[in-house]
Chains A and B, each alone.
Chain A
Amino acid sequence: MTALLPRRGLAQILALIVILAVDRVVSPQFFDLRLQDGRLFGSLIDVLNRGTPVALLSLGMVLVIATRGIDLSVGAVMAICGAIAASLADSHSLPVVLAAALGAGLVCGLWNGFLVAVLGMQPIVATLILMVAGRGIAQLITEGRIVTFSSPDLVWLGNGSVLGLPVPVVIALGMLILTGAVVRGSALGLLIEATGGNARASELAGVGTRAMIIAVYVWCGVCAALAGVIAAADIMGADANNAGLWLELDAILAVVIGGTSLFGGRFSLVLAVLGALIIQTMNTGILLSGYPPEFNLLVKAVVVLAVLLLQSPKLSGFAGIAARLKRTKA
């Protein structure tokens, strides 16, 4: 069983350290932490707290991508589940609210899994359907308004703290450990990597590739639901139009930064979450620096490009072109 943090995480850890160092230069108080009312405050805690939704999304996304799939619908699923949680929060107890929201995420995941594994649709197309339709569903639930709530239980989920750490951070950590335990504690990890590496070969070896694919989309839906509930709890309301908007792209980016190839196969949960933290550390740093947030997008683009170039097999792109030029001249 591959260790939770394999050797190949070095590049990501170095990247995080570099970005943290840059943040320290931009904002001298970056590493300051203070305890107030039993809760830690500071930029670092901010990074963790703000990074939670994408970290949760990346936990599901990394498994989907490991099977050579992709899930574009997670942002929309966040909106749906946030809307459900917000609508029920003031009239029902927290367990009921959570069950309803997570159940909706599970159904969304089943739908995606059904389209991909049973109907054999291309993942990018299959999940695009829910990406588009999901926002509509969320708007139907909120009837086009921003639904607010005041249930202290749900508000605590977004703003409370446990042992000094924000609740969302604790939840994300818990989900990382839970997912890791399920995936690496059972044979699921190996079978997912085999399915993503070569689906036909895996099927002929007796692996239930169809069940494997449905399972990862379901888990991705559940993770997105949790992210949606936390995002709603954070702002004490559900905004069907903007909740989770474009976050599917951040989640995919986090997975790619974490070294999991879009061609499936080998994956690492910890590195995917680390990827989410790298993105959030960049975001926070740019905010603190006083540069306009538009720079954020450019910096992200540069990071993606760097990561993809490093991932391309032996940079064969450049070498290949050079060799070809040489041959034509000869």
Chain B
Amino acid sequence: MQNSLDPAAPLLEVRGISKSFGAVHALQEVDFTLRAGEIHALLGENGAGKSTLIKVVTGVFPRDAGIVRIGGEEIAPRSAKAALAAGIATVYQEVNLLPNLSVAQNLFLDRQPMRFGIVREGEMRRRAKALLADFGLDIDVAAPLGSYSVAIQHVTAIARAVDLSARVLILDEPTASLDRHEVEILFRIMRQLAKRGIGIVFVSHFLDQVYEISHRITVLRNGRLVGERETASLPRLELIRLMLGRELAETTSARASAGEHKAREVCVSFENFGKAGYVAPFNLELRHGEVVGLAGLLGSGRTETARLVFGAERADRGQARVEGAPVRLQSPRDGVRHGFGYCPEERKTEGIVAELTVRENIVLALQAKRGLHRPLSRREQDEIARRYVKMLDIRPADPERPVGLLSGGNQQKVLLARWLATSPRLLVLDEPTRGIDVGAHAEIIRLIRELCDDGLSLLVISSELDEIVTYSDRVVVLRDRAHIEELAGEAIDVGNILAAIAADSVAVALEAHT
């Protein structure tokens, strides 16, 4: 469905936007074009730069370089409010309205119809009702917003934005907490607005919805623009490849063939392990010295699997075994006791203790494992810290520096050191290379290889398929919170992983779009 407006004149033009946070390039020369009357999906994995792009365009973050034009006119908003004045409105997943006020009050907040300094409630309600009627919504506008479903709250937020003369509407994950019926209401309204010439940016992780509603798709990966396509001419497999892989180079496993590891003893195994509403029960075996990669899209259950395996989340079924013996795995303490380690994806909130020194962060897990009564002496701590700072090349090489002052890559190394110091049998690494600059990236991959050569079992999650293919002996592919396929040996390559992720949806996509 093409719009009737002139497609040659873009409504919103973003050219060469760059944004760095410290050493991390969140956006590098990103272009984005939105036409009037178009629904444009903005896609990418976590950390690809979608929200940074939105925040830069709407003035929440200042940009390092690049220009933004709306209707051909250059703008440089310094706040979300200024962006709104320029005609760009954003509705976030968590609606930024006041649930305790009425729907009408929310719609007219800050611009209530007044007479003699008194709000004209009746007038406000009448106008609110008329406004919502435009959106096909007939509700009691005097009731508190919080008493309505999330869908209606979203529609209210959208109505407010549009009424504030927005020409560009950015919807950040609007459907994440909506049911199917509510999604349809929202989509109907989006199409209606598009017909009126409003340009809509749609951010979502639900590819089915993207194919249903959007006209064009822009994909970001690692802060770079990797593609801008017409939705109808972009097969789903190709889209997933854009989102995940670099290019489909023939990167096959550089690791020893799977046969060799078959001979080794099973180190840790999980039978029918799972938790209702979290991850479907799975079987997983990790042999000594083996690297198992977990691949899948965001929200496919990768992190959830990692947390169950470590004990950070309690499984409600199944049995974990260590060296063949059944074990209890109810808490991280249990995991640590069995010789497991876990480097979480959220390094800052779940990994480091920023205020404590590199030394203290490194000895933390070992000390917790030894218990209160067997404190590591200062000399032992110094020795451990010195050994790992040297081994992992942590910089600056000062064990007494608070770890919060280190770069992301070095913080990741400190976390690795924390677990290595406990001499673990199994390490679970969730996105070990995320947000880390290129040099440290390669180094961490090298470390992963060395570690398993020393007999350690590794379970590694990464969105970088090339990476997974490079170091994994086996790859477990997840979709919709279930383990759907296991690839080993020769079968491990990016194409097979993508095919497994896309498997059942490709057929649907082909049917609908070709």
Q: Besides the contacts A186-B373, A204-B351, what 12 more A-B pairs have beta carbons closer than 8 Å?
A: A187-B367, A187-B375, A190-B356, A193-B353, A193-B355, A193-B356, A201-B353, A205-B336, A205-B418, A206-B337, A206-B365, A265-B356
A188 touches B372 (CB 8 A): yes
A206 touches B336 (CB 8 A): yes
A197 touches B353 (CB 8 A): yes
The stretch of B36-44, B342-350, B385-393, B458-466 that contacts the partner chain: B342-350
B375 touches which of A186, A194, A204, A208 (Cβ 8 Å): A186
How far apart are A30's CB and chain B's nearest CB, in angstroms?
Answer: 39
Residues on B with beta carbons closer than 8 Å to the beta carbon of A206: 332-333, 335-337, 365, 368-369
B360 touches A194 (CB 8 A): yes
Chain B, Cβ-Cβ closest to A208: B333
Residues on A with beta carbons closer than 8 Å to the beta carbon of B356: 190, 193-194, 197, 265-266
Residues on A with beta carbons closer than 8 Å to the beta carbon of B312: 204
Chain A, Cβ-Cβ closest to B62: A327
The 8 closest A-B pairs by CB, nearest first: A206-B336, A206-B368, A197-B353, A187-B375, A205-B365, A198-B353, A207-B368, A265-B355
Residues of A183-231 at the interface with B, using a CB-CB cut-off of 8 Å, are 185-188, 190-191, 193-194, 197-198, 200-208
A187 touches B365 (CB 8 A): no
Residues on A with beta carbons closer than 8 Å to the beta carbon of B375: 1, 185-187, 190
Residues on A with beta carbons closer than 8 Å to the beta carbon of B360: 190, 193-194
Chain A, Cβ-Cβ closest to B351: A201
B354 touches which of A1, A185, A197, A204 (Cβ 8 Å): A197
B364 touches which of A188, A200, A205 (Cβ 8 Å): A205
Chain B, Cβ-Cβ closest to A188: B372
Residues of B102-133 at the interface with A, using a CB-CB cut-off of 8 Å, are none
A207 touches which of B335, B355, B364, B377 (Cβ 8 Å): B364
Give the docked Cα–Cα distance between A200 and B312 (Å).
10
Give the docked Cα–Cα distance between A185 and B378 (Å).
11
How far apart are A182's CB and chain B's nearest CB, in angstroms?
Answer: 10
How far apart are A106's CB and chain B's nearest CB, in angstroms?
Answer: 18
B368 touches A208 (CB 8 A): yes
Q: Could you tell me the dominant secondary structure of chain A's interface residues?
A: helix
How far apart are B483's CB and chain A's nearest CB, in angstroms?
Answer: 23
Residues of A250-272 at the interface with B, using a CB-CB cut-off of 8 Å, are 265-266
Give the docked Cα–Cα distance between A187 and B374 (Å).
7
Give the docked Cα–Cα distance between A202 and B415 (Å).
12
Give the docked Cα–Cα distance between A185 and B374 (Å).
10
Residues of B318-350 at the interface with A, using a CB-CB cut-off of 8 Å, are 332-333, 335-337, 342, 344, 349-350
Q: Knowing A206-B333, A206-B365, say if A201 contacts B376 (CB, 8 Å).
A: no
A190 touches B364 (CB 8 A): yes
B378 touches A266 (CB 8 A): no
Residues on B with beta carbons closer than 8 Å to the beta carbon of A193: 353, 355-356, 360
Residues on A with beta carbons closer than 8 Å to the beta carbon of B337: 206
Chain B, Cβ-Cβ closest to A327: B78
Residues on A with beta carbons closer than 8 Å to the beta carbon of B344: 204
How far apart are B305's CB and chain A's nearest CB, in angstroms?
Answer: 16
Residues on A with beta carbons closer than 8 Å to the beta carbon of B335: 206
The number of inter-chain residue pairs (CB within 8 angstroms) is 83
Residues on A with beta carbons closer than 8 Å to the beta carbon of B295: none
Residues on B with beta carbons closer than 8 Å to the beta carbon of A191: 364, 367-368, 372
Residues of A152-180 at the interface with B, using a CB-CB cut-off of 8 Å, are none
Chain A, Cβ-Cβ closest to B364: A205
Give the docked Cα–Cα distance between A204 and B347 (Å).
11
How far apart are B513's CB and chain A's nearest CB, in angstroms?
Answer: 43
Chain B, Cβ-Cβ closest to A185: B375
B78 touches A200 (CB 8 A): no
Give the docked Cα–Cα distance between A187 and B373 (Å).
7
Residues on B with beta carbons closer than 8 Å to the beta carbon of A198: 349, 352-354
B196 part of interface (Cβ distance < 8 Å): no
Residues on A with beta carbons closer than 8 Å to the beta carbon of B369: 206
Residues on B with beta carbons closer than 8 Å to the beta carbon of A207: 364, 368
Chain B, Cβ-Cβ closest to A1: B378
B446 part of interface (Cβ distance < 8 Å): no
Give the docked Cα–Cα distance between A185 and B360 (Å).
15
B317 part of interface (Cβ distance < 8 Å): no
- What would be 29 A-B contacts, judged by CB atoms less than 8 Å apart? A186-B372, A186-B375, A188-B372, A190-B356, A190-B363, A190-B364, A190-B375, A191-B367, A191-B368, A193-B355, A194-B353, A194-B364, A197-B355, A198-B349, A198-B353, A201-B349, A201-B352, A201-B353, A202-B364, A203-B332, A204-B312, A204-B342, A205-B368, A206-B332, A206-B368, A207-B364, A208-B333, A208-B368, A265-B356
Chain B, Cβ-Cβ closest to A3: B378
B350 touches A204 (CB 8 A): yes
How far apart are A255's CB and chain B's nearest CB, in angstroms?
Answer: 16
Residues on B with beta carbons closer than 8 Å to the beta carbon of A205: 332, 336, 364-365, 368, 418
B370 part of interface (Cβ distance < 8 Å): yes
Chain A, Cβ-Cβ closest to B352: A201
**Per-residue A-contact encoding for B65-109, CB less than 8 Å = 1, 0 else:** 000000000000010000000000000000000000000000000
Q: Knowing A194-B360, A205-B332, A265-B356, say if A200 contacts B349 (CB, 8 Å).
A: yes
Chain A, Cβ-Cβ closest to B381: A1
Q: Knowing A187-B375, A205-B418, A206-B336, say if A200 contacts B350 (CB, 8 Å).
A: yes
Residues on A with beta carbons closer than 8 Å to the beta carbon of B353: 193-194, 197-198, 201-202, 265
How far apart are A272's CB and chain B's nearest CB, in angstroms?
Answer: 18
Residues on B with beta carbons closer than 8 Å to the beta carbon of A185: 375
Chain B, Cβ-Cβ closest to A328: B78
Residues on B with beta carbons closer than 8 Å to the beta carbon of A208: 333, 368
Give the docked Cα–Cα distance between A1 and B215 (Å).
62
Interface centre among A188, A191, A197, A327 (most CB of B within 10 A): A197
Residues on B with beta carbons closer than 8 Å to the beta carbon of A187: 367, 370-372, 374-376
Give the docked Cα–Cα distance between A202 and B369 (Å).
12
How far apart are A316's CB and chain B's nearest CB, in angstroms?
Answer: 16
